[in-house]
Structure 1
Amino acid sequence: MALKATIFKAQLQIADMDRHYYQDHNVTLARHPSENDERMMVRLLAYALYAHERLDFGKGLCDDETPDICLMELTGDMALWIELGQPDEKRLRKACSRAEKTVVFAYSGNSADIWWEQIKNKVNRLESLTVYNLPYVTAVELAKLAQRTMQLQCTIQEGQVWLTDGVETVQVDVAAAKVC
């Protein structure tokens, strides 16, 4: 019998001073059995950074054809494709050809550094690609905020993100994590 996804719900209050975006989002995250809290919370961070009324989670780990997070235009065109982890060159080229903008959030420490060193010369010509290499300790800190029901506040200003549940606060320097 296959294991089912675990459902997490987050009330996410976003104050993004960089984009002048101030909204509350009720987000449902389906955590695949093979997904850990670190990956799920990096997904939530990515969602907060690119929040939009049409931003949506993809089918995730069970579907290789869709992004982890995407933003569809009203015309049906894909405006944004967000990947987590360490996608290969072929997947990045596919994403860049399908979406106006492609963003990758790598977060697994040394293996992400090695991945980036191996792939950066192959993808540096992809003009619509942005890559963030978050320190692994950041993913671990974000995972501490994971609860089945979450009330989180996210403040974004000048490339700095503060995500808090009212007790614990995690600061993420996405400006420093940007590598491409």
Structure 2
Amino acid sequence: MALNATLHTVTVHLADVDRGVYEELELRVARHPSETAEYMLTRILAYCLEYEEGVAFSDGGVSSTDVPPVLVRDLTGRLTTWIDVGSPDADRIHRASKLADRVAVYTHRDPAKVLAQLPAKRIHRADRIPVYSFDRAVIDAATSALDRRNTLTLSITDRHVFLELNGTALSTSIEEHRLT
């Protein structure tokens, strides 16, 4: 018997001073049985940090190779931004950079290991693809506060994230890395 996804609700109070985005979001996030809490939290943070009109979690699930975990579509339905999470392989990122105008990767893993597996010479427009990482200790502390119903206050200033998740307050810088 296959296990079902667990539905998490997240009320987000988003204040992204860097981009001038101030929103109250009600997210329903399905967590696949094979998905770690760290991956799901990184997916939620990527959604918030990339928030704009047309942003969505994909319907393909965490194991889909055809769609990213988070994406942005314009009003015509065209994929404009491919937002990957975790440790995607070079072929996936190469394909993404051909399909979307912009590609970004958010990882909760060791960024040196993620970058080492992504040889830039095999990736289309590699020099334009940022890889963002979060402090692993902060991700671990935040995931221990995750529940089925969550309240997340997220403030971003100068690429520094201040977050409070269900009463647990944390802060971390968003480190940006490049493939080249």
TM over 0.5: yes
Structure 2 gaps, min length 5: none
Indicate if the aligned counterparts of 2:9 and 2:27 stay in contact, CA closer than 8 A.
Answer: yes
Change (3 A) 1:104 1:162: same
- 1:48 maps to 48
Indicate if the aligned counterparts of 2:108 and 2:133 stay in contact, CA closer than 8 A.
Answer: yes
Within a 5 Å distance, the mapping from 1:10-29 to structure 2 comes to 10-29=10-29
- 1:179 maps to 177
Change (3 A) 1:103 1:160: same
Query: C-alpha separation between the residues in 2 aligned to 1:125 and 1:79?
Result: 15
Query: C-alpha separation between the residues in 2 aligned to 1:48 and 1:168?
Result: 18
- Identity fraction in percent: 28
Query: C-alpha separation between the residues in 2 aligned to 1:87 and 1:173?
Result: 22
Indicate if the aligned counterparts of 2:97 and 2:125 stay in contact, CA closer than 8 A.
Answer: no
Paired AA for residue 116 in structure 2: E
- 1:78 maps to 79
Q: How far does the alpha carbon of each residue in 1:94-129 deviate from its partner, in whole angstroms, 9 at most, with x for none?
A: 1111111111112223xx422312424434842441
Query: C-alpha separation between the residues in 1 aligned to 2:102 and 2:112?
Result: 22
Query: C-alpha separation between the residues in 1 aligned to 2:143 and 2:151?
Result: 14
Change (3 A) 1:166 1:87: closer
Report the structure, 1 or 2, having the larger helix content: 1
Query: C-alpha separation between the residues in 1 aligned to 2:140 and 2:24?
Result: 25
2:139 is the counterpart of 1:156: no
Q: How far does the alpha carbon of each residue in 1:62-100 deviate from its partner, in whole angstroms, 9 at most, with x for none?
A: 422110000100122212111111111110011111111
Query: C-alpha separation between the residues in 2 aligned to 1:173 and 1:40?
Result: 19
**TM-score calculated relative to the size of structure 1:** 0.90
Paired AA for residue 159 in structure 2: G
Q: Which runs of 4+ in 1 moved over 4 A?
A: none
Q: Secondary structure at the match of 2:118?
A: helix
2:138 is the counterpart of 1:133: no
Within a 5 Å distance, the mapping from 1:95-174 to structure 2 comes to 95-109=96-110, 112-122=111-121, 123=123, 125-165=125-165, 167-174=167-174
**TM-score calculated relative to the size of structure 2:** 0.90
Structure 1 gaps, min length 5: none
Paired AA for residue 176 in structure 2: K
Paired AA for residue 66 in structure 2: E
In the TM superposition, residue 134 of structure 1 has moved relative to its aligned partner by 2.7
How many residue pairs get aligned? The number is 176
Indicate if the aligned counterparts of 1:32 and 1:61 stay in contact, CA closer than 8 A.
Answer: yes
Q: RMSD over aligned Cα, in angstroms?
A: 1.7
